[in-house]
């Protein structure tokens, strides 16, 4: 999967993850990094279960830039026990720019 998400800084971005097996008892979280590899303010984002393995959460960037998300999931909510599924960096770019009026 690849693509680019566009938005305006200081607006919430809805992050969504669908676990392929429909697992409802995991605790996915998204870490967001800039191009220099620095984790961003508000990261990690804990995702809440919506239905049938579909999880969502929101993140608001602190400014304009390009960002890359990494998704991890664990089985107990402490984020010490990773789930036995393959996760990692998705090829999705998050691009935010300053809104000029």
Band of pLDDT at residue 91, cut at 50, 70 and 90 = very low
Domain span at residue 53 reads 2-97
* pLDDT tens by residue, 28-42: 888 888 888 899 999
> For the whole model, what pTM was predicted?
0.74
| Alpha-carbon span 53 to 61, nearest angstrom | 26
Rounded distance, CA 30 to CA 33, Å?
10
Neighbours of 65 (CB within 10 A): 16
Higher pLDDT, residue 77 or 98: 77
Task: Please state, rounded to an integer, the average pLDDT across all residues of the chain.
Answer: 76
CATH number of 83's domain: 2.60.40.10
* Total domains, the chain: 1
């Amino acid at each position: 999967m690849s693509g680019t998400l566009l938005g305006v800084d200081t607006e919430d971005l809805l992050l969504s993850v669908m676990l392929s097996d429909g697992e409802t008892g995991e605790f996915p979280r998204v870490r967001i990094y800039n191009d220099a590899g620095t984790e961003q303010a508000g990261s990690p984002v804990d995702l809440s279960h919506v239905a049938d393995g579909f999880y969502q959460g929101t993140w608001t960037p602190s400014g304009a830039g390009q960002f890359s998300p990494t998704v991890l999931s664990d089985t107990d909510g402490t984020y010490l026990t990773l789930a036995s599924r393959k996760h990692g960096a998705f090829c999705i770019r998050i691009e935010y720019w300053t809104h000029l009026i």
